[in-house]
Amino acid sequence: MQKQARRQEARLRARQARAKVREEQSEKEWRLSRWGAAVVAALAERDAAVAECEQQAGRALRSLIVEGGLKTQEALAWCGDETLTGREVHRLIRGVVDAADRDHLNQGEHRGSGDAG
């Protein structure tokens, strides 16, 4: 009988040890998950900030070229030649989304969303 009691005690200790390991792993996974989410959130904020800054730069460049009547190289001179390239100027201008453009895009997205069938 004493042999059976020792075995039961050993099984109990083993279950408790496994439970403790599972709890520690669960806590570690929770911490890792939170840190991972913090990284993704920070990168999303960075991307949003970069997108907004590029919109502002694109609008200003478009104003220099369209409203100011400058050529790309002249606009580059006003920005400081080493700051931008001609290719980047065109990319920033093409990427500009004005309020009217946003409204038009949003209307198209809403119209197209029901046509899946």
Name the residue ranges covered by the structural domains of the chain.
Answer: 2-113
Choice among 35-39, 94-98, 109-113 with the minimum mean pLDDT: 109-113
Q: How confident is the model at residue 10 (pLDDT cuts 50, 70, 90)?
A: very high
Average pLDDT of the residues in 74-102: 86
pLDDT at 103 > cutoff 70: no
Q: Could you tell me how many helices (H) and strands (E) the chain has, helices first?
A: 4, 0
Dihedral of the CA atoms 104, 105, 111, 114 (nearest 10)? -170
Global confidence as pTM? 0.63
